[in-house]
Amino acid sequence: MTPKERIEYLRKTLNHHSMLYYVYDSPEISDYEYDMMYAELLRLEEENPQFFDAASPTQRVGGTALDKFEKFTHTVPLNSLSDVFSYDEISAFIERVKKELGYIPKFSVEPKIDGLSVALIYENGRFVRGATRGDGNVGEDVTQNLRTISSIPLVLNEPLSLTVRGEVFMPRSSFAELNRIREEAGDDLLANPRNAAAGSLRQLDPRIAAERKLDIFIFNLQSGDIGQKAVSHTEILKRLGELGLKTLPKRICTDDTDKIIEHIKHIASERDILPYDIDGIVIKADDLSVRAILGEGTNTPKWAVAYKYPPEQKNTKLLDISLSLGRTGVLTPTAILSPVRLAGTTVSRASLHNIDIIRERDIRIGDTVTVQKAGDIIPEVVCSIPSLRDGSEIPFAMPDTCPSCGGAVTRDTGADGDEGAAYRCGNPKCPAQLSRNIAHFVSKAAMNIDGLGPQIIDQLLGASLISDVSDLYALTVEDLIPLERMGEKSAQNLVNAVSASKTAGLARLIYALGIRQIGEVAAAVLADEYKTIDALIAAPLEELCSIRDIGEITARNVREYFSNPENIAIIERIKSYGIVTETEDKTPTSAKLDGYTFVITGTLPSLSRDEATALIKDNGGKVTSSVSKKTDYLLCGEDAGSKLTKARELGITVISEEQLREML
């Protein structure tokens, strides 16, 4: 056998066994035998580079790191589905279909995998490109990272050209291992497998994506040839499985409404033991001719709905209530729980929001409480269970003094004079506040000082090298070298990053100051309005109230901040170090968007939020933070939230990044 023949044999054999292992879950050889063949192939390919093939199993992680992802336009849109939240709504959907057709057709009832939707493109049986859903029309080309997923065959069993849609997810075991590694490294833990999968697939370095051990289920044929005529979704999935694609499990096909609901309940009972997360069940007409008759709505098909499971709830013991201190001095109560498995992760802490919530729900230390994940992400205490009390439970009260500095704690007052929800430490020198204020000041969206994380900030404070943000600009390499894990090169890099932040601009500086309720958009509005920090400092309350996106409470927060002599002193010291505190009057490059007001939501395919804002402003448009009747367009990306809902309610035109570019 020649080297070329041996290479081709090994590639074909390894692809076959990889498919058996990752797709069909029926391995025929041991890991050792596979590894030996893989090592031989790797050696032969190195010795014979003229036989390189991108579809070789050795090339799953063959690409170099990218600078950015290129945008990709889907030839067939990756549409979303209408959501339903009750069995009554499912029955109503089926009745609508029956009314349209005169009978109830068969429906495919399948799990809704909680992951990231992608399109995979095969040409002559070879995987050539893959992209994220994006806004349904335009996504990102993530081919290199998709190649690292072992359950995606690089070569199909037949040389066919087709595009399929699937859901990339992170198995629970991979998620647990990833968080274990992050915890050991002192990094923040990831919230859930879905976010972890989305972040992994958008890594610019495919080697990092490969380490995350992602998986995929294919659930739709978008276009192309499957080698036979199919009249139903069931037939298509069966055929895609024969071609070597990993299709959706736990699926039934029925025209019985009761069986549909029974299957939904059955899958719900198994959610805890599934190796992957699901957030609902998809119910879609199985017969392709039925789909054609029912047709498509504006953004969703009329032949399918997605039933969303209510948040999973569990009972556990409330061991204690701790207080965390935010950068604005707000004391936030957090429930310390007896660990409980909830929606795919172990939960030991949960939000209690504020004292009013605790009182309304009569939550006491020692109670048995019901917990859930809001949006399947953030753990929260839903209620207490008074019937399980034994008399040892302790009511909770907010302290009179700050647990960090001992300063006085006061309750906020609203603009109408009523009590607010927040309790706040009023000491601006409070150590806990100071650390978080500095962390906010140096964050990416603010002054963007790379390399200055919470641990280094705490070291700087502990060594009395800084007492507020202005002191950062006086740091020298000699100051930094004695810090733990800080060599001369790292110290120089940090000093350089601090120096580079001086030109961040007025909008970033205003945001970095940490004024209550002043986010990135409001900071940009104030910078546009006043042009200099001195003009903003002198702005009267009435004038601030008249500015778009700046309400009365926000305006009062601005005046309160700049009425504090200590804050003014910090700003004067910042100015003395040469930080830019003015903004240039930038003339728009065109007036194509003049008179139009935009709101941005979700993750855009190729533009960051800042880049999209700049693009709109450069062409004469305005960008605001909230949807209202004055909004002309909602620029919408993937994972849009409440802004999209409100825009639809108000009849606001929703556009994609591609449509924005067409307007220009």
Phi and psi at 654, nearest 5°, equal -105, 125
Under DSSP, is residue 190 helix (H, G, I), strand (E, B) or coil? coil
Give me the residues paired with residue 624 across strands.
Answer: 599
Does residue 192 contact residue 128 with C-beta atoms inside 8 Å?
A: no
Burial letters 121-142, b for 16+ CB under 10 A, else e: bbeebbbeebbbbbbbbbbbbb
**Strand 162-169 and strand 71-73: pairing?**
unpaired
Measured in whole angstroms, the distance separating CA 654 from the mean position of its chain's CA atoms is 21
Does residue 301 contact residue 136 with C-beta atoms inside 8 Å?
A: no
- Catalytic residue among 4, 68, 112, 314, which? 112
- Angstrom distances, CA of residue 242 to CA of 45, 236, 245, 307, 342: 29, 10, 7, 29, 36
Under DSSP, is residue 472 helix (H, G, I), strand (E, B) or coil? helix
Pull the structure tokens for residue 351.
Answer: 């939000």
- C-alpha dihedral over 340, 341, 342, 346, to 10 degrees? 90
Instruction: Please name the residues in contact with 584: beta carbons below 8 A apart, sequence gap of 6 or more.
Output: none
Under DSSP, is residue 474 helix (H, G, I), strand (E, B) or coil? helix
Measured in whole angstroms, the distance separating CA 341 from the mean position of its chain's CA atoms is 22
CA distance 323 to 319: 14
**Strand 304-308 and strand 82-84: pairing?**
parallel
CA distance 635 to 654: 6
Alpha helix (H) ranges present in 501-549? 506-512, 520-530, 533-537, 541-545
Instruction: Please name the residues in contact with 153: beta carbons below 8 A apart, sequence gap of 6 or more.
Output: 15, 18, 19, 23, 127, 244, 245
- For the question of residue 502 being annotated catalytic, the response is no
* Helix and strand totals (H; E) in the chain: 24, 24
- Catalytic residue numbers read 112
